[in-house]
Amino acid sequence: AGWFRRLLHKPKPSSAESLKSSHSSSSLPSSSSSSVKSSSSISLSPVSAPDISASDSPRWDKSYDVCICHSEEDVELVEELVSYLEGQPESFRCFLQLRDAVAGSAVVTELCDAVQNSHCWVMLITPGFLQDPWCRYQMHQALAEAPMANGRTIPVLKDVDRKDYPRELWNIYYIYMVLKEKSFRQIRDTVVRYLQELCRSSTRRME
């Protein structure tokens, strides 16, 4: 009888505790939730993000990080976006047609070169974009360059109904611009993720 009582009062093994902590945090009180987060952070070794600005980064294989396709009537908003991206710690290199196009060169040549020499393409889809044949041409060039590349084509809708979202982009999620600052941050985060994945892929190929 004595040994049976001792068995009943024996503390539970740590494996049972770890089993409890494996339940979803939504079913746990806030205090338990915080302990789950801390225990998981201890048990899992952190994966460091690749340095996209390192000298050997594949980021430097192209002239620009971001090419921004827009209509002429959206120049002010695009200039704000470019200023935001170029002012980030990553110092993104942006292609802005009115600023960076070579004087005297053909428009078609400049648009194609901008797409080919940029890692990511931001499509600022506004009513002006939908009516501008050059914007649609550049969008088609980007899709032809990398039709299935996640994160390279970044559609941004502004003042456009969802039903007017270009059919060619239906397989790509878009950013809906309501708050400008939030959308700028989403664009920045998307470019960073793409460049980080580019670095990881390059490292895997080298290994």
pLDDT tens per residue, range 87-111: 999 999 999 988 888 888 888 888 8
- The domain segmentation of the chain, as residue ranges, is 58-204
Specify the CATH class of 58-204 in words.
Answer: alpha beta
pTM: 0.74
Cα distances from 143 to residues 137, 148, 151, 176, 196, in angstroms, run 10, 8, 12, 20, 21
pLDDT tens per residue, range 168-186: 999 999 999 999 999 999 9
pLDDT tens per residue, range 28-44: 333 333 333 333 333 44
Residue ranges in the chain assigned as alpha helix (H): 2-8, 14-21, 30-43, 75-86, 97-100, 107-116, 127-131, 133-145, 180-206
